[in-house]
């Protein structure tokens, strides 16, 4: 695995909701310290789909529909949807 250099914001991903059956085993309340260098156990399909958003969010960017330092994202499996809350905090 690549060494995470600790750049950008620290991102905490927390499972808020799970509909159906998550094949990766994610459950409400699970938490991950993810970055562009480290998926920290997050499902590979979710991480792959999330990466462009994560890259923008981790390095301080914003999209017009984001509000502050917390956003919600959904996994690509709409039938067994897992929703994550991403929170960014300054490192330090």
pLDDT in tens, the chain (92 residues): 567 888 999 999 999 999 999 999 999 999 999 999 999 999 999 999 999 999 999 999 999 999 899 999 999 999 999 999 999 999 87
For 6, 22, 49, the CA distances from 79, given in Å and listed in that order, are: 35, 10, 16
With respect to residue 7, please indicate whether it lies within any of the assigned structural domains: no
With respect to residue 2, please indicate whether it lies within any of the assigned structural domains: no
Residue 57: domain span = 25-76+88-92
Q: What is the pTM of this model?
A: 0.92
Q: How many domains are there within the chain?
A: 1
With respect to residue 61, please indicate whether it lies within any of the assigned structural domains: yes
Q: What is the pLDDT of residue 84?
A: 98
With respect to residue 34, please indicate whether it lies within any of the assigned structural domains: yes
For residue 49, what is the enclosing H or E element? helix 44-58
With respect to residue 68, please indicate whether it lies within any of the assigned structural domains: yes
């Amino acid at each position: 695995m690549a060494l995470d250099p600790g750049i950008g914001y620290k991102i905490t991903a927390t499972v808020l909701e799970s509909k159906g059956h998550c094949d990766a085993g994610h459950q409400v309340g699970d938490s991950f310290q993810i970055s562009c260098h480290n998926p920290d156990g997050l499902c590979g399909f979710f991480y792959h789909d999330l990466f462009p958003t994560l890259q923008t969010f981790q390095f301080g960017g914003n999209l017009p529909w984001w509000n502050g330092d917390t956003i919600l994202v959904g996994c690509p499996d709409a039938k067994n949807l897992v929703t994550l809350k991403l929170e960014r905090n300054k490192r330090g």
